[in-house]
Structure 1
């Protein structure tokens, strides 16, 4: 095809040259160039790309441009920030600038497009030309040029020598001026010869550059080489904003001022030397920096001054918590020992109790009373031993364990450290977490506790450890032996009332923006909340109910313009809705076959009505009410006892073969189990069999044996509270629980009469309305 004259927009390139078969990426910011691209996109996407002679010229004229360029098709235009346009264009044909038509609003030019077909007719000549280019390219590859694989691929895919020459002109590394020279060679043979010359020249420059580098490297002596490398590293770090030398100086200054054991200082000195020798951008540098910073952050010798005023400590404990006298007494004992001995081993206390009884807040109050830093570590669900001992530094992302991190966070070596939910620690293939805690909580070992990440002995002997747990059943015995167990029992109704009045109401009013004069809650309303809206051992649900009242009060103040809101037992349902719970009170009259039992639950004590029916049948014995295996066995033991003493109560020997006995405990959807209902079921069955009514104001608890002995039980405090709430006046308990009754508060035992039983013979005269006639005759 012959040459073509046409008029089209032009873009002046700075430091770039476009050739046929070349994909060119460049940015455009001049308004004229952007306008030219827009004009090309409107028409046929074709634009004339020509290089400027002076790249710094902002407003080029015809004389400022080279003549030879290329017709290119604009493939993509992307608008960038700051009025910048990113362009992708593909060179199509060689072209020459004939005349500049206009320079505004964009460069409009008349160009001559060279669209002629170029071909080497002689196949031997074409093959010779290809081999020459391959030899030159191979020399580049052998010399270590980085473009080797890409150029090799292009040479293999090139269809003929003309295509190969065009690709090498477009892709071989060279100065843009040399590429412009190739653009000006319209004849293929001239262009080929010029390409060979430029490639030979670039190869010579490459060899000379490598030779110079080798000579310089071989002549540098060791000291000069180290100096040059250090200066280069310093310059690189300054460019990257990584002033490593200042970090090293700061570390060395910190090391001089650090108060720590000698073994710690030696370790730090060694790590700082390694940090100094490491490369500034290597992965090891970051690891070393993190490790050194961690060691400096640890409180090796820094301690806080403890409170030495026992009266002040006692006052703080009284202010923060109502009741809990045993816990307060133990903390004051610890402080007294510390003041007398000047040191004293820190105890490991374990507060055990139901949820919501204030175990975590007690630890915070202890820290405040002793003027110590407070750190809380949640152990619930922790199953990896490394969480306690730390990860070894060989692992990516290694970090200290929670104990070391807690000390670092506290900033002192003698804080109060709360190990929350220690009973919920688990164990799996990653190690035994409980065993890792043994070293932490053993006063004989924790003075040299070793964290895998720190790789240094850590003194934990000054830490006051306080653990919390809901149950001791999941804690291994070796770990229990290292802790002093303090039980946090269920709060009584009166204790909850005081806690609400002295702490919770004020806390919730403050949290919800209510002032003191804007809300009044009567004592009877609080009592009703405790009885009918919460069923718990602690006060967490009570606090939520008080929060609901405060939020509704806030809305009434803002929306209804209320000045003062009074909450009483009469309008309580307006704030909290209908009652959620109702306690089963004592029966109004004595009944046959119904006995009130006492049970312990996770939310406190409760009463259970055990009902027994006797009916004609074939000796079937049935148990219902979602009973567990232990209660079923208690029922079997009770019926065996009754059958063994049936003669004493004038019971026909064939009675158990001709009658069915059905024991039922209401609320069948609630699982029930535990070794404390044996005497209750025995009494209910004997009442039903003999037709003797049971006193309605009596409740009982205890386990029974086959011979009628009464065994001791647990949870007596909670059971006694439940009996009092239900309106029971007489409580029958095992004789061996007499010592537990002595430890109960007077608030609980007031208005309750306790009867102690060693055998069923001690229970029946108290529980039954009258003794069966046969029994009276025998006695």
Structure 2
């Protein structure tokens, strides 16, 4: 609704307040009509258009009532104020879009006793609002003061017309004078409605006088500070609270409230023990705040900034003496296994204990698949040090301002996540975890990774610069810990600042131990089974890890244990019988069919099939390499969704076999008459890497010689054209995956031996036979039932042709 106000002369005398009449209701949106004034409004709602069409051309009047709120039911009777103005519809203009432009002339205040809806028109039973008479001599002084203030306001304002002042001086009726001035002041709709409902003339004049006083002082301050000028429209929009007479305070009271704010902030800043440079900046902002009026936009900005300075920690909390034995116990209580990781953490704590300061040590980065305990390791470190722990999740962050904050020139600016977390920690030396740094992104708003370079560099973070604070902040005493699932997407400059600690996936035995020590008890308590505990034996946990989960961590295992507990809890709640011991045979009935399959060793020795060991993000496993030989023209076919590196490895294996064909018992001429098909099952799973080299060679030699490979042996290793066996990665997971599949003998590169001896569990080392090789000639005797090197190929000798029977003897 758009209104265009006009100033009118006094109207005729109103009817008696005792007369009850029925008049159409015209709902007004975001405007209030005062008696003695005229406004042009744009009507679009059916109820408003219907009210105008009812009286159009008849010379009748309508009741202009303002809506309390703008909603889908704005024109319902309950959403209209009960006091409005009877108005004459002076002019109606129909617009092409169906809306009406209407000129309304306010006459007098009316009280609406009841409202009825008749089709699309609201009709109200109204009476004229009574006004108590006041002796004219009692209002002479208030009228003079109001006119003097109005003259000053008109002189200062750029929006009020001098015509208003001339009309005010010419208006003898004090009621109309108060309404006239009120209609022109920049007030919100609730404030205008309160003035309309203020019936006593003397109170209305007093309220308008106080509003003029506030407007005059505000205009004076705007002229003193041109940069802080606030337009009439913005003031009206920002003033959301309805006014009341007690809240209309004079300038001294406002300044007193400002002084209390400044004194309170000064006390907070004094208690914060700010560094000298920061203290100077805070004093400067305090002096600026003292000069700003509370209604100024800069007042809230400066006040919020000083509150941030006062509530941030500027001093380190004294750390307790580091007890390495207690720290080791805390780490063991929080996590099972991860011995290498725990040792590195204890080394970090030992360095800090010996140096005696918080600046020693490097920044750790825990890298590993989901669910292996990276975040909880940070919490355990904080518990061991006796420091607060804060965590910032960086997944999905694309804006540099998320790290450094926004400059205060932006609306609603705030510090970045680093400073917010420091305030949450309450100390200058917390354990600060930056979680999922590999999930950071970048776009047109900047690169948050670049901002982290300063945060994680000990040479730079002594004076970290947040755009909002704009003062140096010391992060050198913070113990930063980062986590990532993979470092492939992390910039090299950031990785260079980190000490990377790999967290491999848990082995099957470790998962079982974690489930028994932590997960089962947690899920029994979470599902209300503490009073009726159930037993989940080791065999059931092992079956869950093998056929119902496929992961490196234990989150999926915990979910399945929780599902078992919920099944039992439901039976208990329904009063049915329930299993107190959940054996593996009950899992299909409780959790459904098995969801995953894991590799198992072959049931018998076969020709052309070799068992290899593979690594996945969820752990190790075994995979059979199959070779098929058919008549052809010497081509090599590779299937099973093999990556480029694995394809090259298969080519190298074929070349080695052809070069050493005679030694291996293969006719060299045969390669020109056959096609070789290399296939790795589970074609829907991508496979890559060079570690299947010796496996492909063994399967190829077996297929070409017809000699069987041992089903109880699994192997891994990269092969060269000269037959050398090179080391591979993920050896621990590969060997454990083979051990889980029932393989009791593995062939691995000799250079992987130190890693296996260090990381392989003792019980696996006792039960598993490992053959360490450097050349393929060492692999073949172990992998084959019959060593092909013992049966080299020898060309057949041609026998001489017999002489013809009728040939004559040669002369001697």
TM-score by length of 2: 0.71
Match of 2:640 in 1: 625
Partner of 1:90, secondary structure, is strand
2:324 corresponds to 1:310: yes
For 1:226-245, what per-residue CA distance to the aligned partner results, in whole angstroms no more than 9, with x for missing partners?
xxxxxxx9945898899322
CA contact under 8 A between 1:400 and 1:454: conserved in structure 2? yes
Aligned match of 1:764 in 780, 785, 789?
A: 780
CA contact under 8 A between 1:585 and 1:726: conserved in structure 2? yes
Tell me how far apart the structure 2 counterparts of residues 457 and 693 of structure 1 sit (CA, whole Å). Answer: 72
Match of 2:4 in 1: none
CA contact under 8 A between 1:678 and 1:703: conserved in structure 2? yes
Aligned match of 2:274 in 243, 249, 260?
A: 260
Match of 2:441 in 1: 426
2:697 corresponds to 1:682: yes
Tell me how far apart the structure 2 counterparts of residues 142 and 379 of structure 1 sit (CA, whole Å). Answer: 56
Tell me how far apart the structure 2 counterparts of residues 243 and 313 of structure 1 sit (CA, whole Å). Answer: 52
Tell me how far apart the structure 2 counterparts of residues 242 and 519 of structure 1 sit (CA, whole Å). Answer: 68
Tell me how far apart the structure 2 counterparts of residues 596 and 548 of structure 1 sit (CA, whole Å). Answer: 35
Aligned match of 2:729 in 705, 714, 720?
A: 714
Tell me how far apart the structure 2 counterparts of residues 730 and 75 of structure 1 sit (CA, whole Å). Answer: 97
Aligned match of 2:470 in 448, 455, 470?
A: 455
Tell me how far apart the structure 2 counterparts of residues 143 and 263 of structure 1 sit (CA, whole Å). Answer: 41
Partner of 2:767, secondary structure, is coil
C-alpha deviation, 1:342, in angstroms: 2.0
C-alpha deviation, 1:670, in angstroms: 1.1
Structure 2 residue ranges without an equivalent (≥5): 1-7, 26-34, 36-57, 66-74, 91-104, 108-123, 129-152, 179-211, 221-246, 795-812
CA contact under 8 A between 2:663 and 2:793: conserved in structure 1? no
CA contact under 8 A between 1:586 and 1:726: conserved in structure 2? yes
Match of 2:135 in 1: none
Match of 2:570 in 1: 555
Against the structure 1 CA distance between its residues 79 and 396, is the aligned structure 2 distance closer, same or farther, given a 3 Å change threshold?
A: closer
CA contact under 8 A between 1:720 and 1:748: conserved in structure 2? no
For 1:77-133, what per-residue CA distance to the aligned partner results, in whole angstroms no more than 9, with x for missing partners?
677669952446433799x9xxxxxxxx99999xxxxxxxxxxxxxxxxxxxxxxxx
Match of 1:609 in 2: 624
C-alpha deviation, 1:145, in angstroms: 9.3
Match of 1:576 in 2: 591
Tell me how far apart the structure 2 counterparts of residues 332 and 678 of structure 1 sit (CA, whole Å). Answer: 40
CA-based RMSD: 3.9
Match of 1:397 in 2: 412
Partner of 2:672, secondary structure, is helix
Against the structure 1 CA distance between its residues 179 and 442, is the aligned structure 2 distance closer, same or farther, given a 3 Å change threshold?
A: closer
Tell me how far apart the structure 2 counterparts of residues 505 and 252 of structure 1 sit (CA, whole Å). Answer: 54
Match of 1:751 in 2: 767
For 1:716-772, what per-residue CA distance to the aligned partner results, in whole angstroms no more than 9, with x for missing partners?
111011100111111111122122112122133332111112121111111111122
CA contact under 8 A between 1:322 and 1:498: conserved in structure 2? yes
Against the structure 1 CA distance between its residues 144 and 246, is the aligned structure 2 distance closer, same or farther, given a 3 Å change threshold?
A: closer
Tell me how far apart the structure 2 counterparts of residues 141 and 479 of structure 1 sit (CA, whole Å). Answer: 63
C-alpha deviation, 1:315, in angstroms: 2.0
Partner of 1:521, secondary structure, is coil
2:357 corresponds to 1:343: yes
CA contact under 8 A between 1:79 and 1:86: conserved in structure 2? no
TM-score by length of 1: 0.73
Tell me how far apart the structure 1 counterparts of residues 256 and 392 of structure 2 sit (CA, whole Å). Answer: 35
Match of 2:666 in 1: 651
2:426 corresponds to 1:407: no
Match of 2:555 in 1: 540
CA contact under 8 A between 1:346 and 1:465: conserved in structure 2? no
Match of 1:593 in 2: 608
Give runs of aligned pairs for residues 434-513 of structure 1, distance below 5 A: 434-513=449-528
CA contact under 8 A between 1:518 and 1:564: conserved in structure 2? no
CA contact under 8 A between 2:666 and 2:792: conserved in structure 1? no
2:339 corresponds to 1:325: yes
Match of 2:200 in 1: none
Partner of 1:393, secondary structure, is coil
CA contact under 8 A between 1:255 and 1:269: conserved in structure 2? no
Q: Which has the higher mean CA deviation after the structures are superposed, 257-266 or 723-732?
A: 257-266
Against the structure 1 CA distance between its residues 147 and 336, is the aligned structure 2 distance closer, same or farther, given a 3 Å change threshold?
A: closer
2:82 corresponds to 1:85: yes
For 1:52-76, what per-residue CA distance to the aligned partner results, in whole angstroms no more than 9, with x for missing partners?
xxxxxxxxxxxxxxxxxx9842256
C-alpha deviation, 1:706, in angstroms: 1.7
Larger C-alpha radius of gyration, 1 or 2?
1
Against the structure 1 CA distance between its residues 144 and 574, is the aligned structure 2 distance closer, same or farther, given a 3 Å change threshold?
A: closer
